[in-house]
Chain A
């Protein structure tokens, strides 16, 4: 299993240009031998007193980063978003409902206790307890029961079928803690690093776990994680050598980082998107012609080029990105077509309509997208007033609460999660209030399908449905940009987030 991770590591390392200059050497010698030792400091974007050592409460990128350093999951993501074996060596099922999970033997927690099935049962089932305050309670509610059937074997019964379980369990919230653990002022995990010190909102320092269950890993002696919320300061800290890796570099700063001989940028294409939300419950934005007109009015190429300097993938008004194994490439790309938009609006009798659009820095670059849309709308006779509102409180006061707002959706590991969180009729985050019984039926059908090809076909049709009828416009999928010191080796993108989907800790080493 370890092999799967390390092969993709070497291949990606080559593609990422880390080993440029050695291109002619045979593949297995391309990468310099990982070196043990060294200390790095990395800076993420946000850190606050809400920082946590409890996987269930992990909420922000810095939390994910910290949790993956300290804990391991039953499975872990690879660069294609598949769930690879982690603490679980196998997960088997016949009906996608009853799962038999076999655990790796000889794994120890940082305090020396051996990993057993009871730890996993506790770690999974505690999310359902409201007192725990788990971020993934809604997902965990499908765990009907779990019981240990041996020292290293357990059975997990789901309330309904879910073939994506191995992928879901790689999420940071499902990392494995010790049986009965309630006190999270310390971290006792099975992860690659051991906690040295933790001050919420200030820093986390971890040191190498010499007994990590992947032999030879991790490589670094110590990692310090801090947060620098200001983007300019973050880039400056990288360039001045105060930190060795940062995430969330804005496209505008890429040139500066690349101009430095000692630094480089890693682009992680991802499923992150900012979308235009057209509420169904409003007479104008609920009109299908209006919705389609807006989709034609989005100049995707311009958005990609001007706002993201090319660090984006063109979107097609549905939430599954081309990176996802279930992406449907057969849907024709919707082009920028103001004449078509004008025709549709005219047919609906909506030309000359005045509407406010709510934009906010909280939804990545929605302020600029709103302005571009306003400009194009004005040219065909639609009057949009762009209302810029502050980030603070945007999600609770504005998002989905006006006819036209912008949302921001983070990458999800599975199509099922994306659809059930944001498009199912009854979902709380069903942004446009879309209601399509056929879509809901297909979502359930895909969960029952045991044949991956059949599921892919269903998900493909669902993408058609959203593309044609959904109430959101998805202009582009946004790439995530990390900046790093060139001496840091072993990096490859994992599309769920910066810092290799936050799991960089066990993969990287520092060249002397």
Chain B
């Protein structure tokens, strides 16, 4: 480490990250083919769904032609991929609007919900994880363990339903559906988001908290910790200066997984709170067989996931001196 010049010190990680980015693009290309094939396997198509129960075969054929669904699959696939490559996911078959417009209307909603949930749950998860790890085996740890395990085990729909029954229907404190007014005050904004954030937070806190606990405990058993303790390092300094940087790899990976879940998997919360996010948009697209929209959503979720994992890996590499050396 000491003999390397600054430039060569960074060559290893940069190469690694570049390789990861390259792999991510290959993955995306493969995923696009999979998405296209699988969505093509769904029974029925947009023309049938749009025209509904009473449509005549002639009407369906005409609409199918108008939508371009009668062209061979490879032609449609390459046209779509070309569009995606230049950033144009095409025209929605059902809404007669560009897919990009539809997504850009929903994307901020999803980002706000995911962002607020992250802000709310990550600090608590760290608190729970660290506290639990340092009191390992004692009463506090056991209590926290039982709590997080219970939180992991509770299905989201149950938490959400009970929360609505208690806080909206009985106590009338919080709205049962998440409708943010056009120009909300801070109070209105927080009130609107309180319940979905709480419900999503339950799962995230529990999972992330347990990951953090496990990662820290794994480090606490290492000789360098014993050494630091023997040297008289305070517990706070031990955890934050010595242990956390070493444990950050698994923790940041767990965070990436939670975040990608919040981005595209909040379907239950979106349904129960009638919140117009991306997950329900994608379910909509499936039921109306709006393939351009469905495929664009799927690609977006996939790209986000890959991006988050990439960031997590990069942070893990940079945080760990041994990996940094390549």
Q: In the bound complex, do residue B62 and residue A228 qualify as a contact, i.e. CB atoms below 8 Å apart?
A: no
Stretch from A208-216, A237-245, A273-281, A336-344 forming part of the interface with B? A237-245
A451 neighbours in B (Cβ, 8 Å): none
B42 neighbours in A (Cβ, 8 Å): 393
The answer to the question of B284 belonging to the interface, with a C-beta cut-off of 8 Å to chain A, is yes
Report the Cα distance A237→B271, complex, angstroms: 13
A243 neighbours in B (Cβ, 8 Å): 177
CB distance from B296 to the nearest CB of A (A): 12
Report the Cα distance A92→B12, complex, angstroms: 87
CB distance from A169 to the nearest CB of B (A): 19
The answer to the question of A382 belonging to the interface, with a C-beta cut-off of 8 Å to chain B, is no
Report the Cα distance A227→B97, complex, angstroms: 20
B92 neighbours in A (Cβ, 8 Å): 49
Query: Given known contacts A233-B272, A240-B169, is B59 in contact with A137 (CB within 8 Å)?
Result: yes
Shortest Cβ distance from A407 into B: residue = B53
The answer to the question of A399 belonging to the interface, with a C-beta cut-off of 8 Å to chain B, is yes
Q: In the bound complex, do residue B288 and residue A49 qualify as a contact, i.e. CB atoms below 8 Å apart?
A: yes
Report the Cα distance A49→B284, complex, angstroms: 8
A16 neighbours in B (Cβ, 8 Å): none
Report the Cα distance A326→B96, complex, angstroms: 41
The answer to the question of A201 belonging to the interface, with a C-beta cut-off of 8 Å to chain B, is yes
Q: Please, how many residues of chain A have a CB less than 8 angstroms from a CB on the other chain?
A: 41
A226 neighbours in B (Cβ, 8 Å): 177, 179, 274
State which of A201, A241, A421 has its C-beta within 8 Å of the C-beta of B54: A421
Q: In the bound complex, do residue B56 and residue A428 qualify as a contact, i.e. CB atoms below 8 Å apart?
A: yes
Report the Cα distance A43→B177, complex, angstroms: 11
A233 neighbours in B (Cβ, 8 Å): 164, 176-177, 271-274
Q: In the bound complex, do residue A228 and residue B177 qualify as a contact, i.e. CB atoms below 8 Å apart?
A: yes
State which of B55, B102, B168 has its C-beta within 8 Å of the C-beta of A428: B55
The answer to the question of B229 belonging to the interface, with a C-beta cut-off of 8 Å to chain A, is no
Q: In the bound complex, do residue B63 and residue A59 qualify as a contact, i.e. CB atoms below 8 Å apart?
A: no
The answer to the question of A348 belonging to the interface, with a C-beta cut-off of 8 Å to chain B, is no
The answer to the question of B13 belonging to the interface, with a C-beta cut-off of 8 Å to chain A, is no
Interface string of B55-69 (1 = CB under 8 A from A): 111010011001000
Q: In the bound complex, do residue B54 and residue A242 qualify as a contact, i.e. CB atoms below 8 Å apart?
A: no
8 Å CB contacts to A: which residues of B96-115? Answer: 97, 102, 105
Q: In the bound complex, do residue B290 and residue A396 qualify as a contact, i.e. CB atoms below 8 Å apart?
A: no
Interface string of A421-453 (1 = CB under 8 A from B): 100000011000000000000000000000000
Query: Given known contacts A49-B94, A201-B284, is B274 in contact with A396 (CB within 8 Å)?
Result: no
The answer to the question of B235 belonging to the interface, with a C-beta cut-off of 8 Å to chain A, is no
Shortest Cβ distance from B174 into A: residue = A240
Q: In the bound complex, do residue A138 and residue B175 qualify as a contact, i.e. CB atoms below 8 Å apart?
A: no
Q: In the bound complex, do residue B105 and residue A199 qualify as a contact, i.e. CB atoms below 8 Å apart?
A: yes
Q: Which of A49, A51, A228, A397 gathers the greatest number of chain B CB atoms within 10 Å?
A: A49
Query: Given known contacts A201-B276, A236-B168, A393-B44, is B284 in contact with A138 (CB within 8 Å)?
Result: no
The answer to the question of B172 belonging to the interface, with a C-beta cut-off of 8 Å to chain A, is yes
Query: Given known contacts A229-B271, A233-B176, A240-B168, is B54 in contact with A392 (CB within 8 Å)?
Result: no
The answer to the question of A32 belonging to the interface, with a C-beta cut-off of 8 Å to chain B, is no
State which of B62, B274, B286 has its C-beta within 8 Å of the C-beta of A130: B62
The answer to the question of B27 belonging to the interface, with a C-beta cut-off of 8 Å to chain A, is no
Report the Cα distance A421→B53, complex, angstroms: 11
B94 neighbours in A (Cβ, 8 Å): 48-50
CB distance from B155 to the nearest CB of A (A): 14
The answer to the question of A232 belonging to the interface, with a C-beta cut-off of 8 Å to chain B, is yes
B286 neighbours in A (Cβ, 8 Å): 392
Shortest Cβ distance from A202 into B: residue = B276
Shortest Cβ distance from B168 into A: residue = A240
Query: Given known contacts A49-B293, A392-B286, A429-B54, is B168 in contact with A201 (CB within 8 Å)?
Result: no
8 Å CB contacts to B: which residues of A224-258? Answer: 226-230, 232-233, 236-237, 239-243
The answer to the question of B48 belonging to the interface, with a C-beta cut-off of 8 Å to chain A, is yes
The answer to the question of B184 belonging to the interface, with a C-beta cut-off of 8 Å to chain A, is no
Interface string of A396-425 (1 = CB under 8 A from B): 110100000000000000000000010000
Report the Cα distance A51→B176, complex, angstroms: 24
Q: In the bound complex, do residue A133 and residue B63 qualify as a contact, i.e. CB atoms below 8 Å apart?
A: yes
Q: In the bound complex, do residue B276 and residue A399 qualify as a contact, i.e. CB atoms below 8 Å apart?
A: no
CB distance from B292 to the nearest CB of A (A): 11
CB distance from A71 to the nearest CB of B (A): 19
CB distance from A79 to the nearest CB of B (A): 26
Interface string of B152-179 (1 = CB under 8 A from A): 0000000001001100110010011101
CB distance from A402 to the nearest CB of B (A): 14
8 Å CB contacts to B: which residues of A130-150? Answer: 130-131, 133, 135, 137-138
Shortest Cβ distance from B53 into A: residue = A395
Q: Which of A138, A203, A232 gathers the greatest number of chain B CB atoms within 10 Å?
A: A232
Query: Given known contacts A240-B169, A395-B53, is B97 in contact with A230 (CB within 8 Å)?
Result: no
CB distance from B102 to the nearest CB of A (A): 6
Q: In the bound complex, do residue A200 and residue B53 qualify as a contact, i.e. CB atoms below 8 Å apart?
A: no
Report the Cα distance A162→B172, complex, angstroms: 54
Report the Cα distance A49→B99, complex, angstroms: 10
CB distance from A413 to the nearest CB of B (A): 15
The answer to the question of B281 belonging to the interface, with a C-beta cut-off of 8 Å to chain A, is yes
The answer to the question of B135 belonging to the interface, with a C-beta cut-off of 8 Å to chain A, is no
Report the Cα distance A202→B274, complex, angstroms: 9
8 Å CB contacts to A: which residues of B8-65? Answer: 42-44, 48-57, 59, 62-63
Report the Cα distance A5→B95, complex, angstroms: 35
Q: In the bound complex, do residue A236 and residue B164 qualify as a contact, i.e. CB atoms below 8 Å apart?
A: yes
CB distance from B272 to the nearest CB of A (A): 5
Shortest Cβ distance from B165 into A: residue = A236
Report the Cα distance A41→B66, complex, angstroms: 37
Query: Given known contacts A137-B59, A421-B54, is B97 in contact with A242 (CB within 8 Å)?
Result: no
A421 neighbours in B (Cβ, 8 Å): 54
CB distance from A203 to the nearest CB of B (A): 8
Report the Cα distance A399→B53, complex, angstroms: 9
B274 neighbours in A (Cβ, 8 Å): 43, 226-230, 233, 237
Q: In the bound complex, do residue B271 and residue A396 qualify as a contact, i.e. CB atoms below 8 Å apart?
A: no
Report the Cα distance A242→B174, complex, angstroms: 9
Q: In the bound complex, do residue A429 and residue B276 qualify as a contact, i.e. CB atoms below 8 Å apart?
A: no
Shortest Cβ distance from B167 into A: residue = A240
Q: In the bound complex, do residue A241 and residue B172 qualify as a contact, i.e. CB atoms below 8 Å apart?
A: yes
Report the Cα distance A329→B271, complex, angstroms: 44
Shortest Cβ distance from A428 into B: residue = B56
Q: In the bound complex, do residue B54 and residue A428 qualify as a contact, i.e. CB atoms below 8 Å apart?
A: yes
CB distance from A322 to the nearest CB of B (A): 24
Shortest Cβ distance from A57 into B: residue = B50
State which of B49, B59, B168 has its C-beta within 8 Å of the C-beta of A242: B168
22 contacts between A and B (CB under 8 A): A43-B274, A49-B94, A49-B95, A49-B281, A49-B290, A50-B94, A133-B63, A201-B281, A202-B105, A226-B177, A226-B179, A227-B274, A229-B271, A230-B272, A230-B274, A232-B161, A237-B274, A239-B169, A240-B168, A242-B176, A393-B43, A421-B54
Top 5 A-B residue pairs of the complex, sorted by shortest distance between their CB atoms: A240-B168, A396-B44, A49-B95, A393-B43, A240-B176
| Residues of B near any A CB (own CB < 8 A) | 42-44, 48-57, 59, 62-63, 66, 92, 94-95, 97, 102, 105, 161, 164-165, 168-169, 172, 175-177, 179, 271-274, 276, 281, 284-288, 290, 293
What would 5 more interface pairs be, CB under 8 Å, given A396-B44, A429-B53?
A: A49-B290, A228-B177, A228-B274, A236-B168, A395-B53
